Amino acid sequence: MPQYVLGHYLKGEGKRLALMSELLDPMHRRYIDALNIVRPGARTLEVGCGNANAQSILLLRLERITETRRLLPIDFFFLAAACWCEGHADLSFSWSQDCRCRDSPLGSYQKCRNTFWVII
Amino acid sequence: MPEYVLGHHLKGEGSRLALMSELLDPMHRRYIEALGIIKPGARTLEVGCGNGSISAWLAEQVSPGGKAVAVDLDLSLIEVRAPNLELRQGDIVAGPVERGSFDLATARAVLHHVVDAEAAIKNLAASVRPGGALLLIEPDFLPVSVAEPPEVRAFWDGWLAWSRERGIDYYIGRELAPRLAALGLTQISGNVETAIYNGGSRWADYWAQTITELRGDLITSGKLNDELVDTFLDHCADSHWWTETIAFSAVHGRAPDA
């Protein structure tokens, strides 16, 4: 696989992702809303989550759940996603780099499921 | 002004407009709602209202106390009625409608048929009150330039040649933003979206109906032949054929405060 040209280590990448979220999240949210499938109790998976901002979209949909909930953002680079979680002090999350998604095929959902998750 | 090619007298036009409402009204309503300007008491203007579906919805949204004005060259296919919905036969090229009085003026899939689009847009903008919004939704046929297979692209090449001869501008969507800016509107913003559809879908039905309705004129123009038309219609019935045809540019701006 060719190297990803917009690695999260690049200077300004966090800012670029934030701007991308500002520009594209409204459309992404609208399409998700239109599916009418994300509701309390649902399980979601986002692959290539970037700064994981879309997780906040899903959290909004799940916010009325009282039992433990999980969101599963997956990306080649976890740093930006982890920063997103740190910005949500009311959430607890576990994050491990033990499981490497970098070279895993899309079907590795189960393998990665404990890699990075958010628990409310 | 060249004759409007999809006159309301054509067989099947009522059905085609109803299908157009089904396909495009949700997008149109969404853009209107996002403006945050339509509420009870508001005054709205729709130019080129077709069957009146959007104006009927606007009449509901501005009630009580508001008013929706629907303008078209031909009102014969409008069946909707509401106490606060006013239907007017008229040509926006001739002048503004109640200058500076509407909270929202909108037109969808209209300006590409108007030879003097500049005058139409100017008059639409002049109908909006200071601080009010103008929302235009018009086509940009860019997607057909990469349509597959080649015989479908050849069909669209012929279609576009025919449309140019008929005075239709299927690329006007990309011109909307600079035109609103040139008129001094502010907060100009927009999006382009297109449906991805396959044969047998509602969008394929829409194109099959439109091409069937216009077939005589298309062939007579010499820009298309029966073989290309039939090939395209065959694709419209093939569920394995996926395509994009018409992108809609939705652009809005605000009239400057007085």
**Domains in chain B, ordered, with CATH?**
13-254 (3.40.50.150)
Confidence at residue B205, expressed as pLDDT on a 0 to 100 scale:
94
E strands in B35-112: 43-47, 67-72, 85-89, 102-108
Is the preceding omega at residue B40 within 30 degrees of 0, hence cis?
A: no
Query: How far are the Cα atoms of A32, A36, A42, A86, A114 from residue A71, in angstroms, in the given order?
Result: 15, 17, 9, 15, 10
- Contact present, B241 and B199 (Cβ < 8 Å): yes
Better pLDDT: B70 or A117: B70
* ipTM confidence: 0.77
Beta carbons of A35 and A65 less than 8 angstroms apart: no
With a cut of 90, say whether residue B97 has pLDDT above it: yes
Residue listed under structure tokens 């949210």: A29
> Per DSSP, what are the bridge partners of residue B71?
B47, B88
Beta strands B67-72 and B43-47: pairing type?
A: parallel
Q: Stretch B45-74: mean pLDDT, rounded?
A: 97
Q: How far apart are CA B85 and CA B83, in angstroms?
A: 6
Q: What is the pLDDT of residues B131-164, one digit of tens each?
A: 999 999 999 999 999 999 999 999 999 999 999 9
Residue B184 pLDDT: 97
Tens of pLDDT along A67-110? Answer: 444 455 555 444 445 555 555 555 444 444 333 344 434 333 33
Mean pLDDT for chain A overall: 61
Q: pTM of the predicted model, to two decimals?
A: 0.81
Q: What CA–CA distance (Å, rounded) separates A115 from A72?
A: 8
Closest residue by Cα to residue B241 from B149, B144, B142, B145: B149
Residue B3 has pLDDT above 90, yes or no: no
- For residue B35 the two structure tokens come to 């403006």
Contact (Cβ atoms closer than 8 angstroms) between residue B109 and residue B169: no
Residue A45: C-alpha distances to residues A112, B34, B217 (Å): 11, 28, 51
